[in-house]
Chain A
Amino acid sequence: MKTNPRFLTFILILILTCTLSTHGQEDRYITAMLGAIEKMEQASDPTDLMESANRFERIATAEKNRWMPYYYASYSLISMSFDENDGNKKDQILDRAQELLDKAMELEAGESELYTLQAFLYPSRIMVDPMGRGMELIEKMLVSLETAKELNPDNPRAYFLEGVNKLNLPPSFGGGADVAKPILEEALIKFKAFTNEDPLWPGWGEEATRTELEKLQ
């Protein structure tokens, strides 16, 4: 069985908190978040992601001053929206995801991860109406990625999204595998080097970067 380091941390913290019965607010928050993140990472269908979004939203309503529950709730909804085929429903989900992201932005202005998430949201919006929204939203997405990179040049997720974006664009638009590959490789290097003291810090993207790169081999 694959042991996920995050899962181990989760259990250790859980054991500690439970046995000591401290139930301190901070510990309680971290425990709940780690549990929720763990479940989100194991999500296998849109239903799981909806449940995951609900879970983060519950934490967010109780912890109104923290940006991360909003961030993860929004991330879960965006991930879920990619599987929604009804354009109207997709828009509703993304409207909610945007609301949650906006709240996170209010709480933590200038956080690179939030701009990355914004860039992750646009492609799903574009899929509703590629002809009508494509030109405008691709531009907005690129602006978000630029901002994310400016705020934190080491944020691997910004490079990952840029690479995927290039991969999806045909060569005649300045995209294609040849352009995307070095960016994804750079993303992977940044993923390996990436550290953050916060155990709750977003960690998505590395696995997907590897998968994309394998496809390019």
Chain B
Amino acid sequence: MRYLSSIFLILISLSAGAQQRISGSITDRKGNPVAFANVYLDGSYEGCTTDTTGAFTLSTTLTGKQVVLASFIGFETGMMEVDLDTLRRPLAITLNEAVSELNEVTITAGVFSASDEKKSATLSSYDIASTASAMGDIYGAYATMPGSQKVGEEGMLFVRGGESYETLTYMDGMLVQSPYFSSMPDVPTRGRFSPLLFSETLFSTGGYSAEYGHALSSIVDLSTNGLETEDKASVALMTVGANASWAKRWEKSSLAVTGLYANSTLSHLIFKQNVDWTKAPVLGDGMLMFRQQVGENGLLKSFASFNSMSMGMNYDNFEGGTMDDMKLDNLNFYTNTTYSDQLAEKWLIRTGVAYSRDSEKINYVGTPVTTVNTGASVKLTFTNLTSENFKTRFGGDFNRFWYSQTITSDSTFLMEMADKLPSLFVETEWKISKKLALRTGIRAEYSSLLNESALLPRISAAYKSGTYSQFSFAWGLYRQKPENEYLRFAPQLSPEKADHYILNFQYRKHRRTFRVEGYLKYYDKLVKFSSPYSPLATDYNNDGHGSAQGIDLFWRDSESLRGSDYWISYSFLNTSRDYQDYPESVVPSFASAHNLSVVYKRFFERLKILGGITYSFASGRPYNDPNSPVFMDGRTKAYNDISLNLTYLTTLFSKDCIIHLNITNLLGFENVFGYSYAGTPDENGTYASQAIVPTTGTMAVLMIMISL
């Protein structure tokens, strides 16, 4: 062996010819040595790896002009031309840190994104699905993010002093008209779509891009999954119903179908209800998703969902002093098809169509009120990637809405309206330097019903103040048409207005994130009326106004505690508004000054149990007590909730199986959302009151899911 080696060495030295040594060192921009960097001559195998001091020495047989390359993970490849015939001194090569998603300057003002792909995301879709207090509801999970208010009797998102209708939902960029299930007074609703349908979701609490319109406060943009990865099928049994899903994957396309039947009867028997149900909520839901890959980069996505829901209760009409029989039937159909592709090297296209129809029939003490909302939209956007640092997006959408409401009592009343809403937008994103990014956009909107148009500028910027920290700023003008319940009587109304100012600081290192965001929001042209439900157009005007300012804090740490992940969010809100039939500007009844959420998740590896616990707190909300001379000076007690979920992964009949238990309000806090008052005073001259409370105290749902 030794003999062989020596021959080998002699031969090597014989055949090697003249050797030249190149030495030097590799450092980063700050002068720190880069160890284990790859240093080599372009086009040859000759090279070496730097030592821990960043120094290298390489031998070569090459001569003349050559290019020395130096590369290392996380850095851009450095290069230096050398003339090997005259080279005498050591080389010093400096490497620039590569711009990766993690250290790239990105505009974060107002945005909470969730993504399975992007590492810069704050939440993944799995995080959303496994938040205990959310019970698998997207909006419930976003209610644990700073900037949203706890409004338990609604179940919708209330963002930064805004009403629930001020948040709009988009799916793959297309507007979703009725993202929540229909519901009855004081019965909280939830989103129609499962979080597991989406690979990426974006929750913006303000200052959002010019691509989005018609929303005063906030948008939620949900991006559906791409092609299914494989064939699969599963069934699930729940204490509140059953679910089945099936997916098939072909080479370039996939199809997924889901069916859900939910019935609360059993659950109502177990958990005491604060509502006198005449019919427990029953839901039938079907969903279909088709994906087709087109060419190399094109993707066609089709989505359709249909659901039917009904429920009935004796509504405690405390104001009127009666128990009113109330029934609800809701049919909802939503479909969209989107297509995205790369047109040329620097051009991307995204286009889509959507159609929706929502029919809600409420039978209130024998008076049926049927409301049908129909919507259709088309959208087309182009992106031009001018350079790595400059891109322009532009496009437009055209939305059509039809509203009709039929009230049948002694005679039949029919109210109808239709609206055409074209809009155009253009937006540029410019990375001025590695530390500074600027996004400027403008949106033009028109409504045929209101016969008004608006030009809405939006600007946001981000400055990277350190390796892990950055500041962002956003400003924008937003408009939204008044709600249908006012427009149906008063089509002369103008759009409501809001201006957003946001300043954000974010520190993000590895898997820890801290962010603080301060905002100012000015409302104008809010709808006011002299008495609720007045059918007279002259009773309505746009004289309302308001403001909101606050601070949102968020801390998430996914790395300090082994197997654990937690986040804490806190919002402080100072808001007041003069709108609806308010006599003056006061804190509205849905707003609480302090909101806190603590979400904790842990995987117990030995037990194969994934556990999650959520604590939510909201300070008292205002309510108007007619016994008090001061308008809206009542305050409810604080809201508290502790929710828990446990997921156990196992096998059943040699099939993969998931057993999931979700308990909300574990400790049975007696929360109060507000008070309703009798319409007339009693014999002592006082108005009797009754608390508005959750439909149930502690509540649990058990699910067993089996993969087939």
Interface string of A168-196 (1 = CB under 8 A from B): 00111110000000000000000000000
Does chain B have a CB within 8 A of A11? yes
B230 near A139 (CB under 8 angstroms)? Answer: yes
Query: Scoring A residues 5 to 22 as 1 if CB is less than 8 Å from chain B, else 0, what string do you get?
Result: 000000100110011010
Q: Which residue of B lies closest to A8 (CB)?
A: B4
Q: Is the CB of A54 within 8 A of B649?
A: no
Q: Is B29's beta carbon under 8 Å from chain A?
A: no
Q: Is the CB of A135 within 8 A of B126?
A: yes
CB–CB A15/B11 < 8 A: yes
Contact between B603 and A172 (Cβ–Cβ < 8 Å)? no
A58-B229 contact, Cβ under 8 Å, with A173-B656, A174-B656: no
When the two chains form the complex, which single residue of B11, B37, B74, B601 contacts A19, counting CB atoms closer than 8 Å? B11
Binds B, one of A109-117, A126-134, A156-164, A198-206: A126-134
B230 lies within 8 A of A170 (CB): no
Contact of A172 among B46, B102, B558, B651 (CB under 8 A): B651
Question: Which A96-112 residues have a C-beta within 8 angstroms of B?
Answer: 96
Residue of B nearest to A54 (CB): B38
The reply to whether the CB of A152 lies closer than 8 angstroms to some CB of chain B is: no
Interface residue? B203 (CB, 8 A) = no
For residue B11, which residues in chain A have a CB less than 8 angstroms away from its CB? 14-15, 18-19
Q: Are B43 and A173 in contact (CB under 8 A)?
A: no
Chain A's nearest CB lies how many Å from the CB of B599?
13
The residues in B between 400 and 421 inclusive whose CB is less than 8 angstroms from any CB of A are: none
A180 → chain B, closest Cβ, in Å? 15
Q: Is the CB of B102 within 8 A of A88?
A: yes
Q: Is the CB of B36 within 8 A of A54?
A: yes
Decide: A132 near B124, CB < 8 A? Known: A18-B11, A19-B11, A139-B230: yes
A172 CA to B71 CA, complexed, in Å: 45
Q: Which parts of B1-34 form the interface with A (CB within 8 Å)?
A: 1, 4, 7-8, 11-12, 14-15
Judged by a CB distance under 8 angstroms, whether A91 is at the interface is yes
B230 touches A86 (CB 8 A): no
Is A88 a contact of B46 with CB atoms below 8 Å? no
Complex CA distance for A139 and B608, rounded to whole angstroms:
18
Which residues of chain A are within 8 angstroms of B558 by Cβ–Cβ distance?
129, 132
Asked if B73 contacts A18 (CB within 8 A), the reply is no
Given contacts A92-B74, A143-B229, A143-B230, contact A1 B649 (CB under 8 A): no
Alpha-carbon distance A95/B101, docked complex (angstroms): 11
Asked if A62 lies at the interface with its beta carbon under 8 angstroms from chain B, I say yes
Task: Say yes or no: A21 contacts B73, CB within 8 Å.
Answer: no
Q: How many angstroms from the CA of A14 to the CA of B559 in the assembled complex?
A: 49
Minimum distance in angstroms from A54 CB to a CB of chain B: 4
Complex alpha-carbon distance, A28 and B563, angstroms: 49
Flag B107-142 by CB within 8 Å of A: 1 or 0 each. 000000000100100001011000000000000000
> Whole-angstrom distance between the alpha carbons of A171 and B652 in the complex?
11
Residues of B within 8 A of A59 (CB): 45
Q: Give the distance to chain B from A161, nearest Cβ to Cβ, in Å.
A: 17
Q: Tell whether A87 is near chain B: CB-to-CB under 8 Å.
A: yes
Give the chain A neighbours of B656 by CB distance below 8 A: 173-174
CB <8 Å contact, A58 and B40: yes
Given contacts A54-B49, A58-B40, A136-B116, is CB(A18)–CB(B12) below 8 Å? yes
Q: In whole angstroms, how far apart are the Cα atoms of A59 and B43 in the complex?
A: 8
Residues of B within 8 A of A61 (CB): 40, 42-43, 69
Q: Which residues of B contact A15 (CB under 8 A)?
A: 7-8, 11
Q: Which of A87, A131, A174 contacts B654 (CB 8 A)?
A: A174
Shortest distance between the CB of B470 and any CB in chain A (Å): 17
Is A32's CB within 8 Å of the partner chain B? yes
| B547-574 contacts to A (CB < 8 Å) | 558-559, 563, 565
A93 at the interface (CB under 8 A from B): yes
A57 contacts the other chain (Cβ, under 8 Å)? yes
Instruction: Please indicate the chain A residues that have their CB under 8 angstroms from the CB of B38 in the complex.
Output: 53-54, 57-58
Which residues of chain A have C-beta atoms less than 8 A from B12's C-beta? Answer: 14, 18
Pairwise interchain contact A131-B608, C-beta atoms closer than 8 A:
no
Residues of B within 8 Å of A, CB-based: how many?
Answer: 48
Q: Is B434 interfacial (CB 8 A cutoff)?
A: no
Q: Is B610 an interface residue (CB 8 A)?
A: yes
Contact (Cβ within 8 A) A32 B608: no
Contact yes or no, B511 A129, CB < 8 A: yes
A3 to B4 alpha-carbon distance, docked (Å)? 13
With A and B bound together, what is the CA distance between A110 and B653 in angstroms?
36
Q: Is the CB of B15 within 8 A of A21?
A: yes
The answer on a CB contact under 8 Å between A132 and B608 is: no
Q: Is A212 an interface residue (CB 8 A)?
A: no
Is B538's beta carbon under 8 Å from chain A?
A: no
Asked if B44 lies at the interface with its beta carbon under 8 angstroms from chain A, I say yes
- Give Cα A142 to B40, complex, Å: 38
Q: How far is the CA of A135 from the CA of B126 in the complex (A)?
A: 9
A88 touches B510 (CB 8 A): yes
- CB pair A62 B511 closer than 8 Å: no
Q: Which residues of chain B are near A55, meaning CB under 8 Å?
A: 47, 49
In the assembled complex, A51 has its CB within 8 A of some CB on chain B:
yes
The residue in chain B whose Cβ has the minimal distance to the Cβ of A134 is: B603
Determine whether the beta carbon of A50 is less than 8 Å from that of B603: no
Known: A61-B40, A87-B511. A170 touches B229 (CB 8 A): no
Do A62 and B229 have beta carbons less than 8 Å apart?
A: no
Contact B119 A11 (CB under 8 A): no
Residues in A whose Cβ lies below 8 Å from that of B119: 91
Which residues in A have their C-beta under 8 angstroms from that of B15?
18-19, 21
| Most A C-beta atoms less than 10 A away, residue of B38, B45, B610 | B45
Known: A18-B15, A130-B603, A132-B127. A58 touches B650 (CB 8 A): no
Is B44's CB under 8 angstroms from A62's CB? Answer: yes
Name the contact of B650 in the complex, choosing from A3, A19, A172 (C-beta under 8 A): A172
User: In the complex the two chains form, what is the Cα distance from A174 to B37 in whole Å?
Assistant: 43
Most chain A beta-carbon neighbours within 10 Å: one of B73, B116, B229, B601:
B73
Q: Which chain B residue shows the least CB distance to A48? A: B49
Is B100 engaged at the interface, CB distance under 8 Å to the other chain? Answer: yes
Kindly identify which residue among B1, B14, B36 contacts A51, using a CB–CB cutoff of 8 Å. B36
B608–A47 CB distance below 8 A: no
Q: Which residues of B contact A1 (CB under 8 A)?
A: 1
Contact between chains at B43 and A87 (CB < 8 Å) = no
Query: Given A93-B73, A131-B601: A172 and B608 within 8 A (CB)?
Result: yes
Which of chain B's residues have a CB closer than 8 A to the CB of A21? 15
Residue of B nearest to A28 (CB): B45
Task: Write out the residue numbers on chain A whose beta carbons fall within 8 Å of the beta carbon of B651.
Answer: 171-174
**Contact between B49 and A50, CB atoms less than 8 A apart:** yes
B contact residues around A131 at 8 Å (CB): 126, 563, 565, 601, 603, 610
- CB-CB under 8 A from B8, the residues of chain A are 11, 14-15
- Tell me which residues from 27 to 76 in chain B have a Cβ below 8 Å from any Cβ of chain A: 36-38, 40, 42-49, 69, 71, 73-74
Q: Are B230 and A62 in contact (CB under 8 A)?
A: no
- Decide: B511 and A173 in contact? CB cutoff 8 A: no
Let me know if A50 and B36 touch, CB within 8 A: yes
Most chain A C-beta atoms within 10 Å of own C-beta, residue among B14, B37, B38, B69: B38
Given A54-B47, A57-B71, A131-B603, A47:B510 Cβ within 8 A: no
- 9 nearest CB pairs, A to B: A54-B38, A18-B11, A51-B49, A18-B15, A58-B40, A50-B36, A172-B650, A58-B47, A88-B510
- A sample of 7 cross-chain residue pairs with beta-carbon separation below 8 angstroms, ordered by A number, consists of A15-B11, A54-B38, A58-B47, A61-B43, A129-B558, A130-B563, A131-B601
Having A15-B11, A92-B73, A173-B650, one finds 13 other A-B pairs with CB under 8 Å, namely A1-B1, A14-B8, A18-B11, A54-B48, A57-B38, A58-B40, A61-B43, A93-B73, A95-B100, A131-B565, A131-B610, A132-B127, A171-B651
Q: Which residues of A contact B (CB under 8 A)?
A: 1, 3, 11, 14-15, 18-19, 21, 28, 32, 47, 50-51, 53-55, 57-59, 61-62, 86-88, 91-93, 95-96, 129-132, 135-136, 139-140, 142-143, 170-174
